[in-house]
């Protein structure tokens, strides 16, 4: 990696960031293209978020990713945010545009790219059952609705949170049928029966945890399953889906996809997706 007085600095802010695979992934892309950028981790405690963002602005940092716990709280620190970020209430990528810091959300783009590449799934006209109603769910819903999905069922632990999200999206995407479900039988069983795609957007699956009630036997034989969790690579949900012979994928492709989209926003260049995905796999195997 060549560093000079002209090197543009990119990075990621979060707390913690030590475990993040983004520096390895983005620097691999920078090396591959031989461009004068460098991507570094910046640990930022929640109490110092405003000061840190001003610091990055004044230091001329070219752009940065935003991860837990700053994805929503960063919004008031920025000059402008994109319509997708507004809809999701979350920013994962910041770009310097003239004197302004502009927030974007590339999680939805990454999710769609992974559905197409890893599951060969075209959402157009299909019916999707989403588990969870947090930040990742909002990004997925915005992306699916923009891609012409016919029906989205949101099954969430807290009904009020699901309802709130549903009402917001109904007004923005009137052509999509939005349905609220609970995570309990028999309501969920009925929704599984009608799903072309099941997506886990919750953190359930990390550390080998599983849903109390999720009868995959109710899914049609042609249904596909996507788990946004990528550690472990095979969550109990994916293990069960595989056992049933269903096509499925974990969230690694989404992580690569959001990184590819961020890279393009910062550099204007097409990122080497295969190189980035390989670097992620290497990082997970360590």
Catalytically active residues, by annotation: 71
d(CA 194, CA 163): 20
d(CA 203, CA 241): 17
Instruction: Check residue 134 for interaction with ligand NAD (CB under 6 A).
Output: yes
CA atoms within 13 A on the CB side of 163: 4
Residue closer to ligand NAD by CB (options 130, 245) is: 130
Instruction: Check residue 85 for interaction with ligand NAD (CB under 6 A).
Output: no
Residue closer to ligand NAD by CB (options 35, 233) is: 233
| List 201, 235, 262, 267, residue binding ligand NAD (CB under 6 A) | 201
Instruction: Check residue 135 for interaction with ligand NAD (CB under 6 A).
Output: yes
- Helices 273-285 + 22-33 axis angle, to 10: 140
Instruction: Check residue 132 for interaction with ligand NAD (CB under 6 A).
Output: yes
Counted residue by residue, the chain has a size of 286
Residue closer to ligand NAD by CB (options 202, 262) is: 202
Nearest partner of 165 among 148, 178, 146, 150, judged by Cα: 178
Q: Which window, 46-54, 154-162, 234-242, 260-268, contacts ligand NAD (CB under 6 A)?
A: 154-162
Phi, psi of 251 (to 5 degrees): -85, 10
What's the Rg (C-alpha) of the chain?
19
Smallest separation (angstroms) from ligand NAD to the CB of 34? 27
Residues facing 247 on adjacent strands: 224
Instruction: Check residue 255 for interaction with ligand NAD (CB under 6 A).
Output: yes
Instruction: Check residue 214 for interaction with ligand NAD (CB under 6 A).
Output: no
Q: What is the contact surface with ligand NAD in residues (CB under 6 A)?
A: 107, 110, 132-137, 156-158, 183, 201-204, 206, 228-230, 251, 254-255, 258
């Amino acid at each position: 990696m060549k560093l000079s007085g002209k090197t543009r600095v990119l990075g990621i802010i979060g707390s913690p960031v030590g475990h993040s695979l983004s520096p390895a992934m983005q620097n691999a892309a920078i090396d591959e293209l031989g461009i004068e950028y460098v991507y570094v981790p910046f640990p930022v405690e929640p109490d110092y978020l405003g000061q840190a963002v001003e610091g990055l602005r004044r230091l001329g940092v070219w752009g940065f990713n935003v991860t837990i716990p700053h994805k929503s709280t960063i919004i008031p620190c920025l000059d402008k945010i994109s319509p997708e970020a507004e809809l999701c209430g979350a920013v994962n990528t910041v770009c310097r545009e003239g004197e302004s810091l502009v927030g974007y959300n590339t999680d939805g783009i990454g999710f769609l790219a992974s559905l197409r590449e890893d599951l060969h799934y075209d959402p157009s006209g299909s019916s999707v059952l989403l588990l969870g109603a947090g930040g990742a769910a909002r990004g997925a819903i915005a992306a699916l609705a923009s891609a012409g999905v016919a029906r989205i069922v949101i099954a969430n632990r807290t009904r009020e949170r699901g309802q709130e999200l549903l009402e917001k999206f109904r007004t923005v995407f009137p052509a999509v049928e939005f349905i609220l479900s609970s995570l309990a039988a028999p309501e969920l069983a009925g929704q599984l029966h009608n799903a072309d795609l099941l997506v886990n957007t919750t953190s359930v699956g990390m550390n080998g945890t599983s849903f109390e009630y999720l009868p995959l036997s109710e899914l049609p034989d042609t249904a596909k399953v996507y788990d946004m969790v990528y550690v472990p690579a095979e969550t109990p949900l994916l293990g069960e889906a595989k056992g049933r012979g269903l096509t499925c994928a974990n969230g690694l492709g989404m992580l690569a996809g959001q990184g590819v989209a961020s890279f393009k926003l910062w550099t204007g260049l097409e990122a080497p997706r295969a190189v980035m995905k390989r670097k992620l796999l290497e990082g997970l195997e360590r």
